[in-house]
Copies of this chain bind each other. A is one copy, B any other.
Amino acid sequence: MGYTLKDIASLSEVSVATVSRIINGQPGVKDSTRKKVLDITRELNYLPNAVAKSMKTKQTRTIGLVVADITNPSYADIAKTVEARARKNNYTVIICNTENKTSVQIKIIDSLRERRVDGFIFASVKLRDKPVRDLLETGIPCVFTGRHLEGYRGTFMGSDNRTGVHLVVKHLHRLGHRKIAFISGPREFSTGMERLRAYLDIAKELAIETPPHLIQDGGYDRTKTSRIVSGFLALPSPPTAIFAANDMMALQVLDSILNAGLRVPEDISIAGYDDIPVAAHHSIQLTTVDGHFSRLALLAIENLMSRLQGGLPSNKPARIVLEPHLRVRRTTGKPRQTAFLRRSEDVGILDPN
């Protein structure tokens, strides 16, 4: 099934070398020959075999995009941006989900290297990621977006987590909150680590107390987050605001709070981080920080493309850090003055009364 250069060559009565040149649009071929060959190519609906081509040229025009979980809207955004931009240069992208597990990440990297992808984009490295560091050593072009390796090794496109967290906490502080719980991400991720540190620093600066029981690791995980929220609510003196280190957790916080029969933001304020699309939905209106995922993804793929096309030297790593923006919406407000009552009845968010 499928014709080969050889078929085209014999039908056109020229050599495969000539056909190859014509297919690849190289100059230095007589017009009449070109036309004849092209006609036959079209007639046969010839599709070159990219596998054979890769064999010779040592490039597959394929890149690997490694994310934690494509069903997370942030990663879906990245995937879309990367794929669209790559296609422009006739590159194809293989998307793999690590589920944040090193064991599956190792398999993914091996599988992608066996397939000889031309480069990698990692959206979910851990700070100390041995497999990835080893990969970097091999010299194959890699770009990290969102999260970086320890010591910012390699090329990185991210946003300033420190500033982002400060914006949120200052916003809550300005509203009057003094008891702000923080649900952090895993410390093994640069985002988790940096956002936690930034929280502790700004809290200190603003003289906000940070007792250990108000700072919990939600692991970017929804069920874990849900348990943490229950813990907060069971406290003799619960927080007046909860800041979750990403929007997926913040949405879970919102859900849990509402399910507990409390009002947002009247009883508790909630803030997230990332600004995933659904955060802006009228029924959600989550206060959060724009992490510029799509823009970063575009920068990442642009960088990779230039390196692969030889426009950029691959050896000196680039680094771009974007300024985050605070998106104040409706889940944050003034803190309640008195203790709230747990209600049995569900009460909706955004009730203005």
Contacts and interface: CB of A to CB of B under 8 A. Distances in A.
Given A51-B116, A110-B47, A113-B47, A349 B283 contact: yes
A333 to B, nearest CB: 13
A79 B70 contact: yes
A346 B283 CA distance: 11
Interface residues of A, number: 61
A97 interface: yes
The SS class assigned to the A binding surface is mixed
A227 to B, nearest CB: 17
B50 A114 contact: yes
Contacts of A112: 92
A259 B282 CA distance: 7
B70 A80 contact: yes
Contact of A258 (B49, B55, B76, B283): B283
A94 interface: yes
From A51, A55, A115, name the one whose CB has the most chain B CB atoms within 10 angstroms: A51
Interface string A89-107: 0101111110000001001
The 8 closest A-B pairs by CB, nearest first: A348-B350, A258-B282, A50-B114, A283-B283, A255-B282, A71-B76, A50-B115, A348-B348
Given A70-B76, A94-B94, A348-B351, 18 more contacts: A48-B114, A50-B116, A51-B115, A51-B116, A70-B70, A70-B80, A71-B73, A87-B104, A87-B111, A90-B111, A92-B115, A255-B281, A258-B282, A284-B284, A348-B352, A349-B349, A349-B350, A353-B353
Interface of A: 1, 47-52, 54-55, 60, 62, 69-71, 73, 76-77, 79-80, 83-84, 87, 90, 92-97, 104, 107-108, 110-116, 138-139, 251, 254-255, 258-259, 277-278, 281-284, 345-353
